[in-house]
Homo-oligomer: A and B are copies of this chain.
Amino acid sequence: MSNVRVAVIGCGYWGQNLLRNFCELEGADVVMVCDFDPRSLNRVTRRYPSIEVTPSYGDVLANPRVDAVVIATPVSTHYSLAKQALSANKHVLVEKPLAQSASQVLDLMELSERMGKTLMVDHTFLYTGAVRRMKTLVDSGDIGQLLYFDSVRISLGLVQSDINVLWDLGPHDLAIMDYLCGQTPVAIAATGVKHLNTPYENVAYVTVQFGNNFIAHFHLNWLAPVKVRRTLVGGSKKMIVYDDMENIEKVKVYDKGIVQTHDPDRREKMLTGYRNGDMFAPQLEGSEALRLMAREFVASIVEKRAPLSDGNAGYRVVRLLEAAQRSIEENGRLIYLDQESLWSETSADTSTVAAAD
């Protein structure tokens, strides 16, 4: 079977990473790179002289040798660029978040379905060894019933010029939560603060409520003096700490929990204690997440199936972002979410990705 021919759109920091990964991927050929900035294009040409470069997106769409586009441009352009590409009969991979509103995502999903083309969003963390291992742990039942998901992603980060910290950092953790938990949230509330005359929120706290006392909470901060990327997953049987700043032992599984016993003095009363046990840090599969993500895009095209992070996954994340943004603007008001069925039946599961490696 012939290789999938890819064009990379936008060649900034992340676009360069995507370019490198698609260049090194078996089964794919990067044939074009498109960027407004001639310096970016020059840099590409120097390093990859065989790739055609252009400042014109129209050139890319008109090129019959391009099967698929990989969009790594500012968020505000995602919808328009993806829509044009699907209309031009290209498969599409979009940087996170997939678009700026849930309705935009639905539009793209409908179009991709109609055109028979893959629509995928780059939820990179889903392809890390850490998150995939956690998914296995959750799905196996070892963790028990999920009690809470608590995520902190803070650092002294580059303040973005077109989006706030919610839309910049939030997609990572919302996508991880969505993937791990596989549950439909009931409501969301968020608070955000703008500091120092910045036009966008640089600190945000987001709470997501589910139906069964399961709660998720997110701390997103561009203004923190230390870099923290830590997620706690509390279960009725075991608990996970996922610390992405660790070099090696990123995932630790604690055999800890609550136990309830009858009070020996008063039979009707329950005593609540806690249980301590071993800790275990599984070895993680070490492939670069971006490489697996790129491979999943190509595989979904070749195998004509939905990718792991398909339009549905993108939709589930964007509708949370949209509702959280509304909550921020209404000073933390709880926003209820439609209880639609949001899970595609054809999504590839973890084992597929892992096994393919």
Chain A positions near chain B (C-beta within 8 angstroms): 47, 49, 147-148, 150, 152, 154, 156-159, 189, 191, 193-198, 202-203, 205, 207, 209, 213, 215, 217, 219, 221, 223-227, 232, 234, 236, 239-241, 245, 247-249, 252, 254-256, 258, 260, 270, 272-274, 276-283, 331-334
CA distance A209 to B203 in the complex (A): 13
CA distance A189 to B226 in the complex (A): 26
Tell me which of A193, A213, A252 has the highest count of chain B C-beta atoms within 10 A of its own C-beta: A193
Chain B neighbourhood of A225, CB < 8 A: 232, 234, 239-241, 252, 254, 256
Q: Is the CB of A203 within 8 A of B215?
A: yes
The 9 A-B residue pairs with the shortest CB-CB distance, nearest first, are A225-B254, A225-B239, A159-B272, A279-B281, A193-B215, A225-B256, A147-B195, A156-B274, A278-B282
Chain B neighbourhood of A156, CB < 8 A: 256, 274, 276
Given A226-B241, A258-B195, A274-B158, check contact A281 B283 (CB 8 Å): no
Q: How far is the CB of A74 from chain B (nearest CB, A)?
A: 15
CA distance A152 to B234 in the complex (A): 16
Pick the residue among B215, B258, B280 that contacts A198 (CB under 8 A).
B258
